[in-house]
Amino acid sequence: MVSLTNLVRRRESPAGEVDAAFVGHRHDGLAPGFEPLADALLYSGNLEACATEVGLRVATDGVALDQALDDLAATYFAVGAGQPGYRVVRALCLAWNEVSLQYLHGLSCSDPLTGLASLPHLRSRLDELYQSAQRDDERVDRTHVLVLVELGPPVDPAPSIGPTGDLSERFAELLCLVEVAEGLRTVFSCGETLASIGAHRAVALVVRHPDLGLTVESLRQLLVSWSRTTVRSAPRVWTESLPPRHELVTDLLDELAR
């Protein structure tokens, strides 16, 4: 339970803002992970950014969403800030949901919407390739390559206002990801591993061959032709070499997934 006496001695201005005239043991009794938000409330920090940070942390720690929202309300009550606003609650929920979706997608071999394999599945496939190459005295970086597709920026860069605009933007982004996945399946239709990597990227693990450059260009032209009817610019398409040693693959994938 939050200790109001130990947390902060305060007074509230007529506008409801917290005046931290004296701050004592301000983190006593707060739920773990909510300390940055308490500080932001006391010192007029960026509440949405802090709520996002808190949402990511508590989700990673396995805290249920209803408990996280209760802890959010308790943090506001403890510093005398009333009830959390819509944008703060939304930021926490979106961050919590992002971590949860990443976990769920990791449990499945493919995304139900795009049909692309998950990042853990891509890692497993690469593990198999490197192990096989080691047995056969070959090098994966000479036999295979990654083809990356990254969603282009929105055609209209103006930020959307309100929950309806945010949902519309996310829906448009998902439609573009579906188109990218379909384009990859159209061009790479011989059993290549196709996966999502990061929030805005997809990847194909393909065999190197003399016509690879033409194949990649065909994919680029196909996606460009489709992007003319969407709300985002043409995707970026490029190849990424695999590292010569297996132990470097994780670092490469982590970098590409950012």
SS3 content of the chain, % helix, strand, coil (to 5): 55, 15, 35
Nearest to 183 by CA among 213, 224, 144: 224
Taking a C-beta distance cutoff of 8 angstroms, is the pair 29, 3 a contact? yes
- Tokens describing residue 182: 């379909």
The angle at the Cα of 119, spanning 194 to 113, to the nearest 5 degrees, equals 65
User: The whole model's pTM is what?
Assistant: 0.56
For residue 161, what is the DSSP state?
-
Fold (topology level) of 108-256: Alpha-Beta Plaits (3.30.70)
Give CA–CA dist 220/230, Å, rounded: 15
Would you say 194 and 200 are in contact if contact means Cβ atoms under 8 Å apart?
no
Which of 231, 211, 97, 120 shows the shortest CA–CA distance to 168? Answer: 231
Residues of the chain with CATH 3.30.70.270: 108-256
Pairing type for strands 193-196 and 18-22 reads unpaired
Can you tell me the distance from the alpha carbon of 212 to that of 208, in angstroms, rounded to the nearest whole number?
Answer: 6
* pLDDT in 10s for each residue of the chain, 258 residues: 333 333 333 333 333 444 343 344 455 568 888 988 888 888 888 889 999 889 988 888 888 888 889 999 998 888 888 889 898 999 899 888 877 766 655 555 667 678 899 888 899 899 999 999 999 999 999 999 999 999 887 766 554 444 434 545 666 677 788 889 999 999 999 889 999 998 789 999 999 999 999 999 999 999 988 776 556 778 999 999 999 999 999 899 999 988
